[in-house]
Structure 1
Amino acid sequence: MSIRLLRFSELDLAAWDACVDSALPAVPYATSWWLQATAGRWDALVETEPGTGRYLTVWPLPVKWRLWGREIVQPPFTQQLGMIGVGAKMLGSLAGPWLALVLPCYARFYAQLNVENRLVAAPAGVTVDNRHTYHLPLHQPYETIQAGYCADYRRRLRKPAAMLGQVQVTPEVEPLLTLFRQTQGPAAGLKSRHYTLLRRLVAALQARQLLELHEVRHVHTGELLAGALFVRYRSRLIYLFAAASAEGKKLAAPLALVDAAIRRHAGTPGLVLDFEGGMIPSIARFFANFGAVPVPYAALSFTQRPCYLQWLR
Structure 2
Amino acid sequence: MPPRLLRYSELDLAAWDACVAAAQEVVPYAQSWWLRATAGRWEASVEIEQGTGQYLSVLPLPTKWRLSGSEVYQPAFTQQLGLLTLPDSKYSTVQLHLRHLPNRYARCYTQLNDQMHLPSLELPFTCQTRITYHLSLHPIYAVVHAGYAADYRRRLRLNQELPVPLTVANAFGVEEMLTLFRQHSGEAAGLKSRHYQQLLALYAALQQHGQALPLEVRAPETGELLAAALFIRFRTRLVYLFAAASPAGKKVGAPLLVLDYIIQRHAGTPDLVLDFEGGMIKSIARFFANFGATPVPYAALSFTQRPWYLQWIR
Q: TM-score range by the shorter chain?
A: over 0.9
Give the C-alpha shift of residue 88 in structure 1. Answer: 11
Is the 8 Å Cα contact of residues 168 and 257 (structure 2) preserved in structure 1? yes
Is the 8 Å Cα contact of residues 227 and 243 (structure 2) preserved in structure 1? yes
Q: SS of the counterpart of 2:3? A: strand
* 1:121 maps to amino acid: S
Q: SS of the counterpart of 1:50? A: coil
Give the C-alpha shift of residue 290 in structure 1. Answer: 0.2
* 2:13 maps to amino acid: L
Give the C-alpha shift of residue 173 in structure 1. Answer: 1.0
> Within the alignment, does 1:124 sit opposite 2:141 as a pair?
no
Is the 8 Å Cα contact of residues 133 and 276 (structure 1) preserved in structure 2? yes
Instruction: Give the RMSD, CA atoms, in angstroms.
Output: 1.8
Query: Could you list the per-position Cα deviations for residues 159-190 of structure 1 after superposition, in whole angstroms to 9, with x for gaps in the alignment?
Result: 01667531010122111000000111100000
> Within the alignment, does 1:37 sit opposite 2:37 as a pair?
yes
Taking the aligned partners of 2:22 and 2:14, their CA distance within structure 1 comes to 12
> Within the alignment, does 1:56 sit opposite 2:56 as a pair?
yes
> Within the alignment, does 1:285 sit opposite 2:291 as a pair?
no
Counterpart in 2 of 1:12?
Answer: 12
Taking the aligned partners of 1:88 and 1:164, their CA distance within structure 2 comes to 52
Counterpart in 2 of 1:149?
Answer: 148
Taking the aligned partners of 2:167 and 2:139, their CA distance within structure 1 comes to 24
Q: SS of the counterpart of 1:118? A: coil
- Which aligned pairs between 1:104-253 and structure 2 lie closer than 5 A? 104-160=103-159, 165-253=166-254
Counterpart in 2 of 1:262?
Answer: 263
After superposition, the Cα gap between the structure-2 partners of 1:6 and 1:159, relative to the gap in structure 1 and judged at 3 Å, is same
Aligned length: 312
- TM-score, normalising length from structure 2? 0.95
Give the C-alpha shift of residue 209 in structure 1. Answer: 1.3
Taking the aligned partners of 1:312 and 1:91, their CA distance within structure 2 comes to 36
Q: SS of the counterpart of 1:194? A: helix
Unpaired stretches in structure 2, ≥5 consecutive residues: none
* 2:151 maps to amino acid: D
Unpaired stretches in structure 1, ≥5 consecutive residues: none
Taking the aligned partners of 2:34 and 2:210, their CA distance within structure 1 comes to 14
Give the C-alpha shift of residue 117 in structure 1. Answer: 1.7
Is the 8 Å Cα contact of residues 213 and 229 (structure 1) preserved in structure 2? yes
Give the C-alpha shift of residue 138 in structure 1. Answer: 0.4
Taking the aligned partners of 1:11 and 1:87, their CA distance within structure 2 comes to 21
Taking the aligned partners of 1:90 and 1:119, their CA distance within structure 2 comes to 19
Taking the aligned partners of 2:242 and 2:81, their CA distance within structure 1 comes to 18
After superposition, the Cα gap between the structure-2 partners of 1:62 and 1:14, relative to the gap in structure 1 and judged at 3 Å, is same
Q: SS of the counterpart of 1:2? A: coil
Give the C-alpha shift of residue 297 in structure 1. Answer: 0.4
